[in-house]
Amino acid sequence: MSQEKGTLIFGSDHAGFEYKEFLKELSHTWGYKIIDCGTHSLESVDYPDYIPPVVKEVLLGATGVLICGSGIGMSIAANRFKGIRAALCSDGLGARLAREHNDANILVLGERLIGKEEAVSCLENFLEATFQGGRHARRVEKLEEFLSSCA
């Protein structure tokens, strides 16, 4: 049995359900603890309903994965929460850089826009990368200041 690598928290709407299920199972084989915040079927649902439970777990230290048809709505909504840096990614390099340069804590994917292999590449790169800090930390701090000044 592999050693647990951490916790991944998944959320999707109906348009991201199939990739969510696939990526959950794959992540489990990689040694991650999985929490699934839904949805649990292909029945049409409203994507904003699945974001707050994922955000809550991410703010407690989990790594988040949100999936909808395009990923756009999920990323817009998730980034409204203080402390959340959700990155909509369409390739592995973008996913790695989101983590290394922006300290992204939620990976967002659009099931209707990328193939399954690219979704796997995004998740692998996102999970393997770590925040580089340095000049990037200063920039991330400025983003947090934006949220504070707009509240």
Q: Which residues are catalytic?
A: 101
At 24, list the tokens. Answer: 């959950």
- Between CA 10 and CA 63 the distance in angstroms is 9
At 63, list the tokens. Answer: 């790594």
The per-residue b/e assignment along 88-116, b for 16 or more CB within 10 angstroms, e otherwise, is bbbebebbbbbbbbbbbbbbbbbbeebee
At 55, list the tokens. Answer: 């955000």
At 57, list the tokens. Answer: 């777990």
List alpha helices for 30-106, DSSP H. 51-59, 72-78, 92-102
- Between CA 66 and CA 41 the distance in angstroms is 15
